[in-house]
Chain A
């Protein structure tokens, strides 16, 4: 997917004037927010678990190589294969190679953000295969040729009515006069269509919410059970996962799972939590004949030891975007690539470069709500600020803003001059605004006055008045 992250302001304007989208955004995030809060309130040790989660991931990141190698040897021992991929291209080629070796035509897919990151669907299609998304939300947006707008709810931006329209257009073999006004009916229709695809699939690709070093297992959580059908029915199961998803033990996995579902959807546990440990063993009733894990780095290891290392603690729950007022205003597509919201504003500059994604860390008020709910206590605003520092160092910020702030700072470093200059400026501005108490338009402040008035200053600075009073007190 070609990123449009550089065009965030235009993307945002488009989203803001999209009435259909605005209707969805006015309601949807509140549900996530309330359910997460209830789930957290019900668990007295929730805050302590967040501390443990943070500490666990810090330990993992400090020993990443050890755990990944331990994981690899377990997978291999059990008859599986691990493919180390430095880049998205290497991962695409690894997956295509596995599919070709299996003579695959149809590939089913569970929901995976990493698969979006490497753009695997387009690549497989371009190479003559048919990838089919089996998560309901992913299935819908695949039919619409759209990227996901939320990391756990890919069709977050769509209403029931939108989905009905999409299904009518795509499922042309079904009676056109059928009634499709109930979500249950829509789900049943998707289930019927997808059941046939599951049975045709030669390869199933899933992501991994976790990888466990001590057992060589990968773990996925879903609420639809589609992940299980994706990985059990075809002959070959491919797991695509990024390297930071590793944890040392089953106990550690349990800790992450307790945090994940509550932070994501407010559930205590997802409906399905599935552990995959190697291919089918002799005597097993089901399971794939081949088990592959494609391990993706794609720039992550370069973040180790930098001010951005902590972002690798992310478990992709989506709580940050559910609570983000900017995401709530513009939705996920405005972020222009795979990962939206606060987490995207930190990761996308790392994966795409600060030139392409530089708007995102700036498009934040630093309100801090994301950090307040992050189960892994990632200091997201601090990291966005670090990206701003990189942009400043590279001189990428708009010249007018740079100059304005530079002038301000020049005076602020010289208190006597600062007080004299502000006194004069405020006297002038105060005199101009006194008649109405506010300005409807002000030169150099169109960004402000386009949408709101600028309250007028009282006319004297506090410092000036304080100095004048001093004699009298």
Chain B
């Protein structure tokens, strides 16, 4: 028998929106990681990855927050993020943000190399093929832009969802088209954003699914908010909740 390797030590980067709006996703992530044999820690020195500042042109604040995150997550084997957007910020943009900072460039690279979006980490790094969950329903899945195009998250959630007992996936036409969230975009250009999310919810309803899943809270709040405004009964959850079988919390935007 092969020698048992020590459990990978994983630091969970919770993300602001999970921390504030949906702790359930954080606990689902912890469960998925622990079930796959990881030791999970949540450094309390973490706050925001800095993406709102970065995308608003405030490079200096983005750099300060990047340094804070890097310092908070030193020493872990892996850093896992239940969001392609914040994950992309750390993995793709930190090295570029701090490239000219001699004290931090290498540390940014080091963190980048160890950072993964949750579902792709489970599937690609840990080799998880079945999370042992059950979900009775027909779901459809929206590919969040940053996860898809910055981190290559596409097949991994589908592969793992296929292992969930009782679950049927109806593919969403235009699954790779932006939902119109875009961080501050949705409040700076509410009418354009609305047109985009309207098109998205029309596609979602067309799939006849009873549940919408995605891997990013920003997109999920946007799509759930629109579906609820339109009076739709479609349930909206983060993909981690279904994969972990943590579905006792009411769906996003619904009362307990």
Contacts and interface: CB of A to CB of B under 8 A. Distances in A.
A, B from the same assembly:
yes
B19 interface: yes
Given A412-B47, A419-B44, A457 B182 contact: no
B146 interface: yes
Contact of A415 (B44, B180, B254): B44
Contact of B197 (A13, A364, A387, A452): A452
A390 to B, nearest CB: 7
B23 interface: yes
Given A366-B145, A461-B20, A466-B42, A454 B185 contact: no
Contact of A326 (B44, B64, B192, B222): B192
Contacts of B193: 365, 451
Interface string B145-185: 11001100000000000000000000000001110111111
Interface in A418-473: 418-419, 422, 425-426, 434-438, 440, 445, 447-448, 450-458, 460-463, 465-467
A458 B180 contact: no
13 contacts: A363-B189, A366-B185, A369-B149, A371-B149, A389-B59, A408-B48, A409-B65, A426-B21, A437-B253, A440-B229, A452-B197, A462-B26, A463-B19
Contacts of B53: 405, 409
B207 interface: no
A365 B178 contact: yes
A326 to B, nearest CB: 6
Interface in A329-377: 329-330, 362-369, 371-372
A413 B187 contact: no
A405 B56 contact: yes
Contact of A434 (B19, B46, B52, B256): B256
A272 interface: no
B225 A389 contact: no
Interface string B185-200: 1111111111111010
Interface of B: 14, 18-24, 26-27, 42, 44-48, 50, 52-59, 61, 64-65, 68, 72, 145-146, 149-150, 176-178, 180-197, 199, 221-222, 224-226, 228-229, 249-250, 252-256
B185 A364 contact: yes
A191 interface: no
Instruction: List the 7 shortest-distance A-B pairs measured between CB atoms, nearest first.
Output: A365-B182, A447-B187, A388-B57, A392-B57, A452-B225, A455-B253, A437-B255
A366 B182 contact: yes
B50 A462 contact: no
A30 B221 CA distance: 27
B191 A12 contact: yes
Contact of A369 (B14, B19, B178, B253): B178
B192 A16 contact: yes
Contact of B177 (A325, A330, A388, A413): A325
A415 to B, nearest CB: 5
Contacts of A363: 185, 188-189, 192
Nearest to A386: B57
Contacts of A101: none
Contacts of B186: 447-448
A419 B52 CA distance: 18
Given A16-B195, A405-B56, A462-B26, A368 B225 contact: no
B62 to A, nearest CB: 9
B253 A329 contact: no
Given A365-B181, A463-B42, A466-B42, A372 B65 contact: no
B253 A448 contact: no
A390 B59 CA distance: 10
A405 B58 contact: yes
Given A461-B23, A462-B23, A367 B255 contact: no
B125 to A, nearest CB: 23
Contacts of B47: 411-413, 415, 418-419
A448 B229 CA distance: 11
Contacts of A83: none
Given A413-B68, A455-B253, A462 B182 contact: no
Given A365-B181, A405-B52, A452-B226, A447 B21 contact: no
A401 B158 CA distance: 37
Nearest to A452: B225
B46 A438 contact: no
A461 B188 CA distance: 27
A105 interface: no
Given A388-B55, A458-B23, 17 more contacts: A362-B188, A362-B189, A365-B185, A366-B182, A367-B177, A371-B149, A389-B59, A409-B64, A409-B65, A412-B50, A413-B64, A419-B47, A447-B187, A447-B190, A451-B194, A458-B249, A461-B19
A451 B197 contact: yes
Contacts of A461: 19-20, 23
Nearest to A410: B61
Given A16-B192, A368-B150, A401-B56, A438 B228 contact: yes
Nearest to B188: A362
A75 to B, nearest CB: 41
With most chain B CB atoms within 10 A of its CB, the pick from A13, A368, A411, A440 is A368
A455 B26 contact: no
A392 B56 contact: yes
B21 A457 contact: yes
Nearest to A382: B96
Contact of A13 (B20, B191, B225): B191
Contacts of B226: 451-453
Given A389-B57, A411-B47, A457-B20, A448 B182 contact: no
Contact of B57 (A390, A426, A465): A390
Contact of B182 (A367, A385, A397): A367
A9 interface: yes
Contacts of A406: 61
A450 B197 CA distance: 13
A448 to B, nearest CB: 6
Contact of B19 (A362, A392, A411, A422): A422
A90 interface: no
Contacts of B27: 462, 465
Nearest to A413: B64
A367 B48 contact: no
B23 A397 contact: no
A289 interface: no
Contacts of B146: 366, 368
A158 B189 CA distance: 25
